[in-house]
Structure 1
Amino acid sequence: MRKLLLSLAVLILPVLSVSVSADNYSIGTGGQSGIYYPFGGALAKVWSDQIDGVNVKAEVTAASVENTIKVVRGDMIAGLAMGNVVLDAYKGEGKFPAKMPVNVLFALYPNLVHAVTTAKSDIKSLADLNGQRVSLGAPGSGTAVTSAALLESLGVDVNAVYLNFSETTNALANGQIDAGFIVGGQGVGAVTQLALTHDIRILDVSAQQQATFKSKYPAYSSYTIPEGIYNKVGSVDTLSVWNVIVVKADLSEDMAYELTRTAFENIDQVRKVVKAADATTLANADSLNGVPLHPGALKYLKTVQ
Structure 2
Amino acid sequence: MYNIVKKGLMILGLTIALPAFANNYTIGTGSQSGTYYPLGGTLAKIWSENIPDFNMRAEVTAASVENIIKVATQKQLVGIAMGNVALKAYTGEKPFPRKMPTQVLFALYPNVVQFIVPADSDIHTISDLKGKKISLGAPGSGTRVSAVNILNILGITENDVKAQSLNYTATTSALANGQIDAGVIVGSLGVGAITELSLTRKIRILSFTPQELKKISAANSSYQAFTAPANSYKNVPEFEVPAVWNVLVTNQKMDDKLAYEMTKVAFENIDKIRQAVGVTKFMTIDNMPKLKGVPLHPGALKYYQEHHQ
Question: Which TM-score applies when normalising by structure 1?
Answer: 0.94
- 1:17 shift after superposition: 4.2
**Per-residue displacement from partner, 1:111-134 (whole Å, max 9, x unpaired)?**
000000000111111111000000
Structure-to-structure mapping, 1:1-305, within 5 angstroms: 2=2, 17=16, 20-21=19-20, 23-156=23-156, 157-305=160-308
Q: Which runs of 4+ in 1 moved over 2 A?
A: 12-22
Task: Please report how far the alpha carbon of residue 18 of structure 1 lies from its aligned counterpart in structure 2 after TM superposition.
Answer: 5.9
2 CA distance for matches of 1:205 and 1:79?
A: 30
CA distance in 1, matches of 2:88, 2:276: 30
d(CA) in 1 for partners of 2:197 and 2:15? 47
Q: Deviations over 1:225-253 (max 9, x none)?
A: 01111111111000110000001112111
**For 1:239, what is the secondary structure of its paired residue?**
strand
Other structure's SS at 1:121 match: coil
SS at match of 1:147: helix
125-134 or 266-275, larger mean C-alpha shift: 266-275
| Cα separation, partners in 2 of 1:97 and 1:14, compared to 1, 3 Å | closer
Secondary structure (helix, strand or coil) at the match of 1:139 reads coil
Distance 1:252 1:20, change over 3 A: closer
1:293–1:2 Cα change, 3 Å: same
Change in Cα spacing, 1:146 to 1:73, as seen in structure 2 (3 Å) is same
Q: How much has 1:2 moved relative to structure 2?
A: 3.7
Q: Following TM superposition, by how much is the alpha carbon of 1:170 offset from its aligned partner in structure 2, in angstroms?
A: 0.3
Summarize deviations over 1:125-165 as a string: whole Å, max 9, x none.
11110000000011100000000111111222211001000
CA distance in 2, matches of 1:9, 1:99: 48
- Rounded Cα–Cα distance in structure 2 between residues aligned with 1:220 and 1:86: 13
Report SS of the residue matched to 1:223: strand
Gaps of 5+ in 1: none
Q: What CA distance in whole angstroms lies between the structure 2 residues aligned with 1:72 and 1:188? A: 27
Alpha-carbon separation, structure 1, partners of 2:283 and 2:161:
35
Structure 2 unaligned blocks of 5 or more: none
Deviation per CA, 1:3-38, whole angstroms, max 9, x where unpaired?
A: 9x76x959x977984674361111100000000000
Rounded to whole Å, the distance in 1 between the matches of 2:124 and 2:81 is: 30
Identity %: 50
- Once residues 202 and 21 of structure 1 are traced to their aligned partners in structure 2, the CA distance between those partners, rounded to angstroms, is 48
Worse-superposed segment, 230-239 or 271-280: 271-280
